[in-house]
Amino acid sequence: MVTYRSLGELEDAQDEERRAARLRIETAEEYIGHYRSRIDQVRETFHRLSANQGVVDDPGFRQELQRVSDTAGENVAYVRRRIDELEDEYDVMLREQDAQRENFLAERDDTD
């Protein structure tokens, strides 16, 4: 356990911890947005190419396109669950930081 010399030092460390956690969450959100965008572009390109080639109504093509779409949907759902877990962990961290701050203040008051 780290011992802080002042409330400001503790709060600075907690601020940095919160910033790092928020950055992880924001990065994951950006990733999922980029992934969705790229998958949509690929799907549109495949559909356009298949229309040009006359296979857009081919059952095999449609089945494969659906499989790719389903896999992409599963990937997005998985990342969304992970982001939700990161958000939950962030909330727990905030509660722990509040408790840590209160303990620091109580200990400081006890030594005064």
pLDDT above 80 for 53: yes
More confident residue, 34 or 65: 34
Angle at 90 between CA 94 and CA 73, to 5 degrees: 160
Q: What is the pLDDT of residues 7-49, one digit of tens each?
A: 999 999 999 999 999 999 999 999 999 999 999 999 899 889 8
Confidence at 72, pLDDT banded by 50, 70, 90:
very high
**pLDDT class of 1 with cuts at 50, 70, 90:** low
Collect all residues with Cβ–Cβ distance below 8 Å to 79 and sequence separation of at least 6: 28, 31, 32, 35
Q: What is the mean pLDDT of residues 55-79?
A: 91
pLDDT score of 110: 75
- Residue 109 has what pLDDT? 78
Which residues have C-beta within 8 Å of that of residue 42, sequence separation ≥ 6? 68
pTM of the entire structure? 0.79
| DSSP code for 112 | -
At CA 25, angle to CA 30 and CA 67, rounded to 5?
55
Q: Domain-by-domain residue ranges, the chain?
A: 7-89
pLDDT at residue 65 tops 70: yes
